[in-house]
Amino acid sequence: MSAAINVNQAVQYEQARLNGLYARLDRLRDEAAERLDESRRKHVENEQERSQRDAETHLHRRRIAQLDAVEEGLCFGRLDYIGDEAPMYLGRIGVHAEGGEQLLVDWRSEAGRRFYLATAAAPAGVRRRRHLHTRGRRIRSVNDEVLDLEAAGESGSSIGSEGALMAALDAARTGTMQDIVATIQAEQDRIIRAPLEGVMIVDGAPGTGKTAVALHRAAYLLYEHREQLKRRGVLIIGPGKQFLRYISEVLPGLAETDVLLRTPAQLFPGVVADRPETDAVAAVKGRAVMAGVIASAVADRQVVPRDPVPIDYEGHELYLRPEKITAARDAARETGLPHNEARETFHKRVIADLATQYADIIGEDPLGGENLLGLHDRAKLAAEIATDPVIRGQIEVLWPELTPQELLEDLFASRERIASAAAVLKKEERALLLREPGGWSEADVALLDEAAEHLGEIEVQQRGGGLTAEQIAYAQDVLTIAAGSASFDFEDEESEILQATDVIDEFWLGERQVDDVFVSVAERAAADRRWIFGHVIVDEAQELSPMEWRALLRRCVTRSFTVAGDLAQATGAAALGGEAPSSWAEVFGDSGLAWRAEQLTVSYRTPAEIMEVAVRVLDAIDVEAARPRSVRESGHRPWLEIAADGLDRRVEELVAAEKAAVGEGSVAIVTTPERAAGLSGVAGAAVLTVKQAKGLEFDSVIVVDPDAIAASGLRNLYVALTRATKRLGVVAPDKPDFPGAELL
């Protein structure tokens, strides 16, 4: 009876405290809403004032969003200290009273760290750690851990029947990932709070919390390095759209919004990577050697004709002369600019030569004297020639303006272009690249990104009538080019050093009006391929190809990465060009990155009964990976059913049984793409391929046709067997023979 009274008293006390915290939260939200309303109504008279108003409005909106996001689970813990120190309440954000008193400590603060590090062996002055379990604004239960029994003068009994960690692990999965802010373990906390600089590898087996640690690390870094990261944001890369949906609520729930979630296939704005492609083709496209192929493909588009090309201009015959084209090409390349940006230098050099030819014809002195046209006249001729559409078209063929999409479509559609640019590849590998235009695959995205780096930006013509800014620049640069190659002298050379506006006085440049719409860091980053992030987090990092790593490295020049992965789960055909890496040294060997690895060895998600089977598969995989230790047992042994006939119908019946067993929990079927297509209509379960299931977790998982999964690699089967948090079943058309099947 006394224990029940103690529990009730604790709940009542903490509920009163929680009511006060939510009252303060409501007041802060009301104040932010009032400020937002004031900002919206503010009168502005110029662009600077409008920009300031928009920034203020965005700030208040963001503050409201943060306060809304922490509504659920606002406060989750309390520390009681030895001595007279007041208890500390821990929550998702820090909250102060109107007078400045701290009511709630942010879990990411240094003070908050004590909540995670204190143990019975090393209590660090902590007498008791209390976990508060809430739903909405109500306390559901409390769980106490008495850490310093001698100082506390208490027995080892605690309020609550099970630990907070075990309660969280046994909770039903709802289809979206829950944060672990209330149950972060000491080994996880150390990684979460590691320095921002360099590459931190979070290595661990299925269920060890790699993803949770990486996401909480993002929240911590945004808190600890706010000034450094708030303008650049954090990029999080996940293996697929299902995975991104699964983790999408974690960081907003921790009051962080300056984060962009993307798959590698979503890194090129405006491109939808939905073209199907074989693993063999993806493997070739993912190899590091493709960077050189793309560079060669760009160089191949910078053409020098073998013979002079005649051009008719104003009834006179001019020539695109190979030696001059070569000199123009070399000059453009020597600028070090990308193809599209160096194109201007090429065009100007070619135009200058045509202008010289034309001046030699029409400026010839009939008496045999020096040419009658001076530098000023030749500059005018160059500007006029530059406007001729036929001439511009012929020069364009020699050095075309290209988008990444145009470059790759032209490359992959031409056997000849592939042979020229990809000579380093074997004949059968080059044949894999050949395809008809139309659509992009996931592996194409990194190649498009590589191409964009070599091509640079497309020049935008200025509107408003008259000649373009590019044309006016021709005239200015031709002055310099012609002056360096002129074969005649001027009495007053200084008078010929003109400005382009002196040569073409009719040019008018209209300024483009831009509407500055204040958007979040994530929104701006999503639309800008060249955005540089302050930190990048890569989950399931073992899946990325070398070309995808190149694309990511361009997006973080500080080389500040958190990399979460498990080499034993490297199933992607693109990883290391088709061969799964066996060590992180293979993954980062040629990148020049300074990396350090932290290993998580305790599996919180996968119970011991399931891990026993999975480890047998892991033993058969040749990879450097620690054998995980499960922290709990589920009480359910994995089962096997052989359904030689009517397999699909039997799976449907088993799903219904599993759904009844887990109640509100989740059920999934993991199988091959072929089987998944036939099972897609099964009610009550998510039907996933191994690729789609990667990184996800479910209360119950039914693995269908395990030998067929294993035929594509034991790593695929290892992934499939480790998605369950409670129950695992295997359905096979005949007796399976994969490692560990004898335990079923």
Residues 604-636: pLDDT tens digits? 999 999 999 999 999 998 787 778 889 999 999
State residue 2's pLDDT score.
45
What's the rounded Cα separation, in Å, for the pair 384 and 79? 80
Cα 55 to chain center, whole Å? 26
The neighbour count for residue 533, using CB atoms within 10 Å, is: 24
Cite the DSSP H helix spans in 597-646: 608-619
What's the rounded Cα separation, in Å, for the pair 170 and 174? 12
State residue 512's pLDDT score.
30
State residue 379's pLDDT score.
84
State residue 159's pLDDT score.
47
Say which amino acid occupies 144. Answer: D
* 8 Å CB contact between 552 and 538: yes
Tell me the Ramachandran region of residue 617: left when phi exceeds 0, alpha when psi lies from -120 to 50, beta otherwise.
alpha
State residue 366's pLDDT score.
67
Edge-first strand order for the sheet with 639-642 is: 639-642, 724-732, 698-704, 667-671, 686-689
Angle formed by the axes of helices 279-286 and 290-300, nearest 10°: 80
State residue 518's pLDDT score.
61
What's the rounded Cα separation, in Å, for the pair 91 and 105? 6
What's the burial of 723, exposed, middle or buried (CB within 10 Å: 0-12/13-18/19+)? buried
What's the rounded Cα separation, in Å, for the pair 648 and 655? 11
State residue 698's pLDDT score.
96
State residue 459's pLDDT score.
62
Token pair recorded at residue 691: 């690729």
Residues 68-117: pLDDT tens digits? 999 999 999 999 998 888 999 999 999 999 999 999 999 999 999 999 98
State residue 5's pLDDT score.
57
- Cα→Cα distances 11→15, 18, 77, 182, 604, Å: 6, 10, 13, 17, 28
What's the rounded Cα separation, in Å, for the pair 231 and 169? 36
CA torsion, points 705, 706, 712, 713, in degrees to nearest 10? Answer: 180
Query: How many residues belong to the chain?
Result: 744
- Which residues of the chain carry a pLDDT beneath 50? 1-3, 152, 154-162, 460-516, 574-577
Task: Please list, in sequence order, all residues whose beta carbon lies within 8 angstroms of the beta carbon of residue 51, skipping any fewer than 6 positions away.
Answer: 516, 518
Strand partners, 143: 131
State residue 487's pLDDT score.
37
Task: Please list, in sequence order, all residues whose beta carbon lies within 8 angstroms of the beta carbon of residue 737, skipping any fewer than 6 positions away.
Answer: 707
